[in-house]
Amino acid sequence: MRLMASEVRRLRGVRSTWVVVAGAVAVNAAVAAFTASRLPTGELATADAVRAVAAVVPALPLPLTALAAAVLGALAYGNEARWPGLPASRVTLGRRLSALLAKSLVVGAAALLLTVVTLGVNALAVWLALPAAVDAPTLFDPSGLPGAPFAAGGIGRPLAAFPALVLAGGWAGLLITSLVRSAVVGILLTCALPALLEPTAGLLLHRTGRNWPLWMRELMPFQYGLDFVRSAADRTAGALDGVVAAALLAPAALLVLAAVLAQVRRRSL
């Protein structure tokens, strides 16, 4: 308990926490507003609404909020590993494990809080930015919701999956950083993980005869990004065409670009 209290103190005392949270909320709101402003006219589809409120950016490996949670988790461990306040007090396994547990609990709570905040702000942004042509009475009117929000077509399930995704992002950031002891590496690996996991899991599910539920597909950004790009280009394309190849090569190109840019500012390798 006292470990959790001190972890909360650490989280509050560090500037980066507030920067990350504020940036995540702002970018989320901006993305949500942008998505909402470009929604097609007519009745608002549930999927579109979910995308808009969750501020899913195509081709990002994780939703923005989950990414922010991953950064928080990675920093929670990375800072401690980099500037250990009392290095000698972490010698025994039990103390380290309890510290890790406290961190994961605090990061999880922070991730959930962040989810609530961003969802609220995003909903507000979407509501403000909705074009007049789009009518969404059923979605934003609580009384007008379809009987069971957790029914197949409802908005409930995706919105429940979203916090879970954010939570998983935060914990993944924390635990992956605990493997590599560096916050930056931890964040990068966390970003790389879904791009590997999603197709694999999707493939496995497909082999067993099932598929991602549609509402999951909305939130899983990699798949969604593929769908997004493909729908924009050519819906009738084959399984492995130029678009998929481009989607797979884009991260590599981005990596090369980032590596070159990183060298620009340095004085040593």
**Residues near other proteins, by CB under 8 A:** 2-3, 5-7, 9-10, 12-16, 79, 82-89, 91-92
Q: How far is the CB of 6 from other proteins (least distance, A)?
A: 3
Q: How far is the CB of 77 from other proteins (least distance, A)?
A: 12
Could you tell me what percentage of the chain is helix, strand and coil, using 3-state DSSP and rounding each to the nearest 5? 75, 0, 25
Q: How far is the CB of 26 from other proteins (least distance, A)?
A: 20
Q: For other proteins, which is the closer residue by CB, 6 or 37? A: 6
Q: For other proteins, which is the closer residue by CB, 12 or 267? A: 12
CA 248 – CA 198 distance, rounded (Å): 13
Q: How far is the CB of 98 from other proteins (least distance, A)?
A: 10
Q: How far is the CB of 91 from other proteins (least distance, A)?
A: 5
Q: For other proteins, which is the closer residue by CB, 72 or 195? A: 72
Q: Smallest Cα–Cα separation from 74: which of 194, 221, 179?
A: 179
Q: For other proteins, which is the closer residue by CB, 84 or 144? A: 84
CA 24 – CA 42 distance, rounded (Å): 30
Q: For other proteins, which is the closer residue by CB, 53 or 102? A: 102
Q: For other proteins, which is the closer residue by CB, 14 or 47? A: 14
Q: Kindly report the backbone phi and psi dihedral angles of residue 239, in degrees, each rounded to the nearest multiple of 5, phi listed first.
A: -70, -50
Q: Record the tokens describing residue 33, joined without a space.
A: 């507003």
Q: For other proteins, which is the closer residue by CB, 94 or 238? A: 94
Helices 64-82 and 183-207 sit at what angle, rounded to 10 degrees? 140
Using the CB atoms, write b or e for 164-174: b if 16+ within 10 Å.
Answer: ebbbbbbbbbb
Q: How far is the CB of 221 from other proteins (least distance, A)?
A: 30
Q: Kindly report the backbone phi and psi dihedral angles of residue 42, in degrees, each rounded to the nearest multiple of 5, phi listed first.
A: 105, -160
Q: How far is the CB of 173 from other proteins (least distance, A)?
A: 17
Please compute Rg for the chain using Cα positions. Answer: 20
The three-class DSSP label of residue 42 is strand
Half-sphere exposure of 162 (CA within 13 A, CB side): 26
